[in-house]
């Protein structure tokens, strides 16, 4: 096996990628700079992003090291079932495009805290603004930065610290140009991301076929399905050791919807890409992202399954070990180190593109919330547009420096990046989603009900997390809502826990709202009419194709 070093061809390929992204970003920055320099143009690229730029930017911001490394590792461990995060996201994006984005655009929403202020009150908005800043900096930014540097270091041979500093600096350069530069350079990032990712998948399938004395990627795929048939089921049964992570039908009708709808519909980091466009452009961009989502498991999951098949048959016995035991997260780096010169540089560029694009998007969202929802509203209400843009740039640099300083001390590598992010965001996602969904579509919802969802949802999530240590939950196993964990205790699977908390939050919000306003409509209800949710014929056809493909995939790999 090749060592983790790059040779001259790899450096040339990577340099070409860097020059293309940097030059195109500079071109977009200079071209758009004279058009508008206001804060909304800087943070949202108001009216500047095309549908293909929005769609590409959504994917580039979403796919990062935790997908390439963590999801490939999950493919090694549990198989194709982990692809439900990607394929269900494709359906979720259609729901967001049809029902969420029209509400935001109709009511001129620029940030998520602004929505909460407009719909509820300043207290709810400020609490959530501070929470989101802490979450984005301490959890998301740090995990993307650390895992990205870890992955890049594993295939380049450079030190972890150097990779972290270099990635952070590259991301700052991209981010300082504003959302226009991020959006358009993300198109190139996605090109490299997909091309490099497909190269790794091609290598993985070829290795499988060669290992068993045949040729071709189709033969490799067929061998994988026969040698590891248990890794090609989307719906896991309760006796599967991975059921606690993906509890059967909950991925179709339960908590997976809350995970995805909260992430894609109530998340500044994601929705920001579409909030500066008109409805038709925003919807087309989101639909494009849904199509790209269908492709992601091919890039991030199949290589992990291929590594599992090879490992099971005697390959990679040493390479997959870490501290004496098998670490599934090593699957993708192991495959990358087998790529030939040039292709390894391409995959190195793909991984860097995924990390830098995610960091740029996250830093821009941090700057947007801090500048528009805290600095403008509390610290300096009379700030002019130029001052807001300067403060936004300062916030970008400060957040990235904080990320670099604290990332090594959070134990992210021990928890696993994907689990690290899910553990901390999953405690609040049900309450936030309940607060948003009722705020959208039920005009009787009150501010106190929203506060209950935020605080009560978090409290119940903590209770359900630690409940197995306090009482016996084996009776829930009869209903499929509890399984034994590694410690022998019956535990409620993560996704089911989120479903229960969401229902609790909705019920509590309804009771509080009806008690407070005696059934009267809240004057802060948003402007909504049925015409907002009508779609064009082209969008409807595209959405039906996506849904049809998802149904077919689940039918084949049930």
Q: Across all residues in the chain, what is the average pLDDT? A: 82
Mean pLDDT, residues 324-329: 78
End residue of a domain, out of 373, 393, 414: 414
Q: Are residues 101 and 203 located together in one domain of the fold?
A: yes
Work out the burial of residue 73: count CB atoms within 10 Å of its CB; fewer than 13 is exposed, 13-18 middle, 19 or more buried: buried
Instruction: Give the tens place of pLDDT for each residue, 134-157.
Output: 888 887 788 888 878 877 787 777
Coil, helix or strand at residue 446: coil
Greater model confidence, 259 or 48: 259
Instruction: Give the tens place of pLDDT for each residue, 213-245.
Output: 888 899 999 999 999 999 999 998 888 888 888
Query: Which pLDDT score, from 0 to 100, does residue 306 have?
Result: 92
pLDDT reading at 2 higher than 80: no
pLDDT reading at 161 higher than 50: yes
- Which range, of 48-57, 250-259, 287-296, 421-430, averages the lowest pLDDT? 421-430
Q: Are residues 394 and 450 located together in one domain of the fold?
A: no
Q: Are residues 470 and 395 located together in one domain of the fold?
A: no
* Confidence category of residue 42, pLDDT binned at 50, 70, 90: low
Query: Which pLDDT score, from 0 to 100, does residue 423 have?
Result: 63
- Give yes or no for a contact between 364 and 106, defined as CB atoms under 8 angstroms apart: no
Mean pLDDT, residues 346-366: 81
In a domain, 557, yes or no: no
Instruction: Give the tens place of pLDDT for each residue, 166-184.
Output: 888 888 887 777 666 776 7
In a domain, 23, yes or no: no
pTM: 0.84
Mean pLDDT, residues 339-351: 80
Instruction: Give the tens place of pLDDT for each residue, 398-422.
Output: 988 988 888 777 766 554 455 556 6
The backbone region for 321, taken as left when phi is positive above 0, alpha when psi lies in -120 to 50, beta otherwise, is beta
The terminus-to-terminus CA distance of the chain in angstroms comes to 36
Query: Which pLDDT score, from 0 to 100, does residue 510 have?
Result: 93
Query: Which pLDDT score, from 0 to 100, does residue 504 have?
Result: 93
> β-strands 490-491, 483-484: how paired?
antiparallel
Query: Which pLDDT score, from 0 to 100, does residue 95 have?
Result: 94
- Give yes or no for a contact between 79 and 228, defined as CB atoms under 8 angstroms apart: yes
Radius of gyration of the chain measured on its C-alpha atoms = 23
Coil, helix or strand at residue 249: coil
In a domain, 343, yes or no: yes
Query: Which pLDDT score, from 0 to 100, does residue 314 have?
Result: 82
Q: Are residues 404 and 437 located together in one domain of the fold?
A: no
Q: Are residues 466 and 388 located together in one domain of the fold?
A: no
Mean pLDDT, residues 508-517: 89
pLDDT reading at 61 higher than 90: no
- Give yes or no for a contact between 354 and 93, defined as CB atoms under 8 angstroms apart: no
Q: Can you give the residue range of the structural domain that contains 437?
A: 426-527
Q: Could you tell me which residues come within 8 angstroms of residue 411 by beta carbon, excluding any fewer than 6 positions away?
A: none
* Confidence category of residue 49, pLDDT binned at 50, 70, 90: confident
The Cα–Cα gap between 299 and 86 comes to 11
* Confidence category of residue 508, pLDDT binned at 50, 70, 90: very high
In a domain, 34, yes or no: no
Work out the burial of residue 87: count CB atoms within 10 Å of its CB; fewer than 13 is exposed, 13-18 middle, 19 or more buried: buried
In a domain, 42, yes or no: no
Q: Are residues 405 and 482 located together in one domain of the fold?
A: no
Encoded tokens for 523: 């004057």
Map 382-420 to HEC letters: CCCHHHHHHHHHHHHHHHHHHHHHHHHHCCHHHHCHHHH
In a domain, 31, yes or no: no
Please state the φ and ψ torsions of residue 284, each to the nearest 5 degrees. -65, -40
Query: Which pLDDT score, from 0 to 100, does residue 391 have?
Result: 87
Greater model confidence, 488 or 130: 130
Query: Which pLDDT score, from 0 to 100, does residue 83 have?
Result: 92
Q: Are residues 410 and 511 located together in one domain of the fold?
A: no
List C-alpha distances in Å: 487 to 252, 427, 491. 28, 22, 10
In a domain, 105, yes or no: yes
Q: Which residue has the tokens 């909950």?
A: 250
Q: Are residues 479 and 393 located together in one domain of the fold?
A: no
The Cα–Cα gap between 266 and 115 comes to 10
Our count of domains for the chain comes to 2
Greater model confidence, 413 or 488: 488
The Cα–Cα gap between 132 and 116 comes to 13
Query: Which pLDDT score, from 0 to 100, does residue 1 have?
Result: 45
Query: Which pLDDT score, from 0 to 100, does residue 417 have?
Result: 52
Q: Are residues 399 and 452 located together in one domain of the fold?
A: no
Residue among 519, 500, 420, 413 nearest 461 (CA): 500
Mean pLDDT, residues 182-200: 78
Q: Are residues 445 and 314 located together in one domain of the fold?
A: no
């Amino acid at each position: 096996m090749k060592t983790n070093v790059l040779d001259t061809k790899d450096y040339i390929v990577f340099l070409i990628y860097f020059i293309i992204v940097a030059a195109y970003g500079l071109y977009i920055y200079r071209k758009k700079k004279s058009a508008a320099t206001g804060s909304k143009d800087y943070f949202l690229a108001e009216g500047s992003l095309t549908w293909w730029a929005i769609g590409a930017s959504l994917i580039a911001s979403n796919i990062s090291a935790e997908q390439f490394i963590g999801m490939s590792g999950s493919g090694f461990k549990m198989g194709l079932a982990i692809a439900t995060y990607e394929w269900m996201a494709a359906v979720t994006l259609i729901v967001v495009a049809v029902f969420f984005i029209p509400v935001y655009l109709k009511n001129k929403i620029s940030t998520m805290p602004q929505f909460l202020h407009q719909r509820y009150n300043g207290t709810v908005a400020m609490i959530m603004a501070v929470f989101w800043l802490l979450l984005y900096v301490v959890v998301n930014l740090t995990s993307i930065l650390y895992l990205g540097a870890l992955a890049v270091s594993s295939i380049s041979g450079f030190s972890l610290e150097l990779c972290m500093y270099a990635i952070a600096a590259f991301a700052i350069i991209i981010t300082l140009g504003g959302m226009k530069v991020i959006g358009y350079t993300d198109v190139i990032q996605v090109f490299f991301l997909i091309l490099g990712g497909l190269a790794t998948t091609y290598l993985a399938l070829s290795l499988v076929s060669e290992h068993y004395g045949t040729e071709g990627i189709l033969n490799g795929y067929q061998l994988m399905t026969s040698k590891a048939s248990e890794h090609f089921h989307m719906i896991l049964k309760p006796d599967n050791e991975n059921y606690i992570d993906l509890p059967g039908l909950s991925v179709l009708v339960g908590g997976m919807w809350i995970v995805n709808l909260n992430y894609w519909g109530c998340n500044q980091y994601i929705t920001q890409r579409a909030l500066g466009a008109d409805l038709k452009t925003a919807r087309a961009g989101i639909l494009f992202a849904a199509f790209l989502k269908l492709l992601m498991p091919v890039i991030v999951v199949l290589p992990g399954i291929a590594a599992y098949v090879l490992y099971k048959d005697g390959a990679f016995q040493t390479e997959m070990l870490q501290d004496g035991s098998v670490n599934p997260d090593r699957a993708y780096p192991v495959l990358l180190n087998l790529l030939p010169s040039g292709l390894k540089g391409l995959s190195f560029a793909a991984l860097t593109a995924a990390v830098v694009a995610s960091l740029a998007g996250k830093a821009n969202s941090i700057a947007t919330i801090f500048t528009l929802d805290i600095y403008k509203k509390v610290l300096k209400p009379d700030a002019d547009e130029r001052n807001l843009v300067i403060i936004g740039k300062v916030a970008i640099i400060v957040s990235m420096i904080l990320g670099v300083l604290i990332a090594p001390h959070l134990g992210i590598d021990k928890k696993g990046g994907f689990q690290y992010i899910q553990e901390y965001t999953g405690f609040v996602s049900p309450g936030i989603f309940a607060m948003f969904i009722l705020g959208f579509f039920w005009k009787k919802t009150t501010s106190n009900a929203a506060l209950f969802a935020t605080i009560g949802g978090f409290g119940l999530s903590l209770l359900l997390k630690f409940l197995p240590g306090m009482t016996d939950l084996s009776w829930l196993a009869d209903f499929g809502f509890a399984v034994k964990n590694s410690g022998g205790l019956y535990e409620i699977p993560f996704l089911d826990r989120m479903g229960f908390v969401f229902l609790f939050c909705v019920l509590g919000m309804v009771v509080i709202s009806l008690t407070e306003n005696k059934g009267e409509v809240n004057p802060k209800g948003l402007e909504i009419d049925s015409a907002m949710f009508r779609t064009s014929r082209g969008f409807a056809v595209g959405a039906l194709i996506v849904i049809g493909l998802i149904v077919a995939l689940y039918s084949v790999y049930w």
